[in-house]
Structure formats: structure tokens, C-alpha cells
Structure 1
């Protein structure tokens, strides 16, 4: 092998490596890799589409972000990027007519991440803010200090300049956009999202007829309004992970999320290990001392972080850290199939932990709500009926527990009960921080 051939092979290896490990989705960067595939003719296909909205739903990592970046560069008139590419060589007339012809507003949500719904909303608000700020040239300040459109043509827009300011100014965006964009999610949108997951291969949908399903019955529900009219042929859908590969992919995502939670909330690795060990010992002995030790472990774990804001984040931490544990099986946000005559949103309990024939249902609270209230919720909302379902028939020892984290007192309280007819007991962490 001569020196020139060796250098070429090295270049190929380096280029292939750079593509596989590429952190950027920018068209200009990917265009320089040796394995680049010219898909620029898609620009004509997309711009020739007469639809008002075009939705691209290719699976993850199929190049949607790079495709949008390519289209953006084309519309911005970056002609040098397209020299010798098909859109320029095969569609010269189209290229000269459309390149740099259209204005571009590009909102990239690739950086929107978070370990809680609240954080995701905040990051999305900032992404919207960045997009509006990029186009701040569209507005100007008048002599009296108020905002006005920079061009008279924009006065014909349906967007009011004050609305534009709400998204342009960062502080206003954080509150206004969340209020406007995150109203209660409709049932129709939830079904659409779940259908999208199924179409993407993440789930199989199993339709269950309410009239024949053994778990849900047609008995009266005291919370159903008298004379309520429900469709007799309504169905509920159960989602199931279709195969081992998808299940392993989801597990890997959850493991990555656990690492992200540890980093975000500044949790100590030893405290995480002690928390998992305390749960393991609790499932083995279910003694009063074991509950005290769990309260201590949770207290030490959570006291290291000053960022826990609400019950959702508390729940997220305590569940995420044990999801992949080999010691027990865990389920979060578990739906309770209430006995009802028609459709409706089922109650959800916070967490179920199972080891062999022992099962514990946890309900979590913070500050103003007591552990006793949490335990009462398990019975008032019939969370305990989860153990009556076929998948839990092997559970012979059933425990119900409410846990409260008092941030000011730096205490963790647990009220628990063995069996539905047992006597409840309350314990408190006895570790001094």
C-alpha cells in the first residue's frame, strides 16, 4: 500500500467517524462528510407543495433537523452551499427563482429538555423567545418608547405588536407563552399523540371492549352524575411495548434520565445507593425500623438538593432512581380502572414497588400535606384495588404507604398500613443533618 492510498484511507475513516459522532445537524457541516447524500431536490418538492402546513413525521435520527436546516440555508440565499448539488445543476431555473426569495422563521426545539414538565415548559418558552429575538428587527421603538412595526406592511398582520413583545421580551415570554400554549391538553390531542407513538413503532395498541373486559365492570359509581349519558359501545385502549428491542431502548432512555436527575438535583451517588438499599430491605422485612431507615435515606437524598419545587419533581426523583433496579419491579403513574358506566380519566397512583410476593403502593406529598393524608388518599381513591387485578394476584403481602418531605423542618414522615384491614402506623426520620 503506497503512502497516498494510506492517506486516503485515513481520510475516509476520519470522515466516517465524524459523521457517526456528529454533534451538529447543520447542513453545511454534514455536506463536507464523505458519506453525504444529495437530497437537495427535496427542496423543490417541498416548496412546490400547495398545502398550508406540511408535517414531517419520519422516525428519530432520520435527518429531519438537517433537512430543515438545508431548507433554511436555501431560502436565506446561501448559494455557495449548493454549488454542484442537484438543486443547482438539475433545477437551474427553480434555483435562481426561489433561492433567497422567501423570508425564514426557524424555531429549533432540539435543545428543549428537562427532567420535569415544569422545566420542559420553561425551556420551550426560552426556545420561543430565542426565535422572536432573532427577528427583533421587525419592530422598532417610537419616540414615546412604545413598540411599533418597522414596516407598514406588517400592520396587515394578524399578530399585534404587543403580542410580539410578549414573546420577544424574555421575562414576559416565560409567563405569557406558558399561559397561552399550555392550556389543559384535550383528550383528542392525547389520542393523537398516542397514535403517533404507535405509528412510530413504540407501542402496539390493544382495544378492549368495556362490556367484556373483566377488570372494568358496569356497576354503579357513586361519583357519576345521575342520568349521565355515556355511549354503550365505547372502548379503552391499552398500549403495549411490541418487542425486546424497543423495551431495551426505553430502559436505556430511563437509565440516561436517572443520570440526568442525579446531575440536575446534585444528588450524591452514595445517597442514591443507600436509598435503593433501604427500599430493598423494606421489602424484605416490612418492619417499623425498615420504614424509619427508608425515611432517613430519603431525607439524606433529598436534603442535598435545593431545587425540588413540587410533588411532581419529588415523585420523579424517587421513581427514576429505582426504575432499573434489579432488586424489584417498579411502576409509576399507575392507572386505577375505576368501576364506571362510561369513559373517563382514571385515577393514577404515584408508585408501585414489587419484590416476589410483597407489594407496596406509595403516595408522595410535600410540606403542607401530611403522610396520613397521603395514606388516606390511597383508600379514598381506591388505589388499593390495583392489587386486585390479575397481574398482581401473586402479591400475598400488601402494604400501603404515604410519604411526606418537609423541606423547612428537614424531616421525612411515613404513614403505612399492612393490608386494607390493618392498623396504620406513623414513623419519622431520626437522622440529624
Structure 2
């Protein structure tokens, strides 16, 4: 890991909008699925996934779901159930209710909160097939009360054997029973527009490759989407009380995600910086995903030495990282100063994977500096709100002239007359 200046270092990188060829390909796929439905899904599945299906084979059967349990370890089932319970318990505390406020003049104002009706969850294949992300997408939607949750995943996430059984078990444990073996941009288009086999949804969540990301961007507005996520990030803020072996391991836990993942150490100790630098190199050679982590560390890893913890927190707030670990002597004394971070891990034993898998908070967190203005996935992502206004006669008679004044200042006479006709009827219109 290289030593860099705090003044010039920035986690943010240019947003990936894809090449013109990639954008054109996605637009053509989305258009074809919109127009042809299942026929286009089957054609693209054969073309891109090299899997020939018929329409009646798109949906995963109950027997396949049940059979997946025979292909995974009992210890995995127990682990996924324990994690799901923690995630559900955490998100249950986020749920809020509709409310109404009765005014002295008899008016009633309020907000009606309802869950979305149908949500689609995309689960990628290949090296990014993560059962834990199934839980993190599905459970907040369930807690919000979404009645229909549908999952799509490429037909060979588990290789030639078909869909990864760990993904299927995670989906079943989370309570998802409507699953389709379709991936890529064509799956996103199917969720947005619907086909003969797949009903359209209101929102699409879940990570994917560049074609999935571009497809989500293409259909946004027809449906809602969660975000266009960037590579994983971790910043560790440490002083000389931290253990360099722990910090190095946590930095590498993110570096192994992706060649473009970012792992940054911010420390107030030059000695600790040098010790951690050496420890990262030592542990890197022992990592099974060494090649991936090595490229991440080389291109997007850095060590920033600062004069004090307060200066380090200023650097953190500028970076606005996805994950922040505070491996300092008194993290609780400083956490209130952190303004921009997706998830904050406090103390020696709050290693980032605790949050990735088990603690309960969601691991789908804003990346690329967007923690400045956005938040981790939660129950609010799966609800919609309606304002409610019951205006009494007394209130309209009292405030009608004011409303008309505002309307006419905007040149909207029709708005003003909609109020005036009521005031005239009650004999209360002004001059």
C-alpha cells in the first residue's frame, strides 16, 4: 500500500456509464423484451448464458427449492437462519406507521404509509453470487410489508449444475418462492415491463454487472431502482492502540471483493502506518483471492498519515466511505464527529464482515462518496407515502383569500377561482 497525501486523495471515481456499444446493446435488449416478452428472454438466455430453456422452465419449481437444501451443509442453513433473524430484528425497528393530526379548525392532515406491492430482486451469478445479499435485499422489503417479492438470477449461477443452491436456500429462508432463471439486462427489462411469465414490479433491487447496471438506468422511471452501486470501499481510522494484523485483515477483506475495490488506512501514527503496510503485504500472500486483492491494493489502496484523530475524521468526512472502521482508543468519544459514512464500525472487535453477514444492519451501503447524501438500504426503500388533507369549511373560509393571493401571484387564475367559487357560495369572497 502506498503512502499518499490527505490533501490530494479522493475515493470518488468517475461513474461507469458504459461504452456506446454497451449502451446500444442494452437498449436493444430492453426494447426486444418489451416488445416480444418471453420469446426475447429465451433467445437472450441462449445467446448470453448458453442455456436453452422453454417458457415453462423459466420459473424455479418448489421441488428445486426444496432440493437445494440437500446440496448445502446443515451448518450453512443454521448460519443463514441466524443471520436472517438478526437482520429482521434490526429492520423491524425502522418501520413506521401512518399518522393523522387533527387541527383546531376541524381540518385533518396526515400521511398514509403503504408498502410497495411488488419488488424484484436481481441476484448475479459468477464471482458475485452472494447469498447474504439475498437476505439484505429481501428482508427489509418483507418488514415493510411488500406482499410480492420476486427474484431473478442467471440460469447457471452454480455453473453447469444450474442455479447456486446456496442462493436458492437463502431465498427460501428469506421467504421468496417466486424465482426465475433469467439474468442480465433481459431480466431487468422483464421485471420492468413484464412478459407472459413474469409480472412487472414496482422497484428493482440488487447488484449486477455493467449490463445490469445500464439496464436499471434504462428502465428507471418506469420502475424505481435502488442505486447504481460502485466498487466496495473501506476506510480504517486507526491510532497506535490498534492491532496492525487486525487492521490489515480488515483492509484485505474489502480488497478481495473486486480489482476496483478501495482499502484506505487513515492513521495518526507513522509507526503504525509502516507496521500495517508490512502486515498487508504479509497477509496478502496468504489470501486465496490474492490476484484480485493485489490489484485492488496496488491501484486503489492507500495509507494517509495525519497529525491527529480530529484531522483523520476530517479526511473521513471528505472521503464519505461506504464502510468506516474506527480502531482508536475511544471511538465513542469521536463517532459524533463523523458526518459522512455509510456504516460505522466501532472498536477492535467490530470487524467489517460482522456487518456484511450477521449483526443486522444492511450491508447494501452507498459507495463512491454518495454517503454524503444517501443511506444504507432500509425499510423506507420499500414504502410509499401519500399526503392526506381533509380541509374543513372553517379552514377554507379563514385561509381562502391567502390561497387565492398565492395562486394569482403565480399567474394561475384557475387555481384561484377554484377557491373563489367556494367562498362566493358561502358569501365570504373578498373584493
TM normalised by structure 2 equals 0.22
Instruction: Determine which structure has greater relative contact order: mean sequence separation of CA pairs < 8 Å that are 6+ residues apart, divided by chain length.
Output: 2
TM-score, normalised with respect to structure 1? 0.22
Name the larger-Rg structure.
1
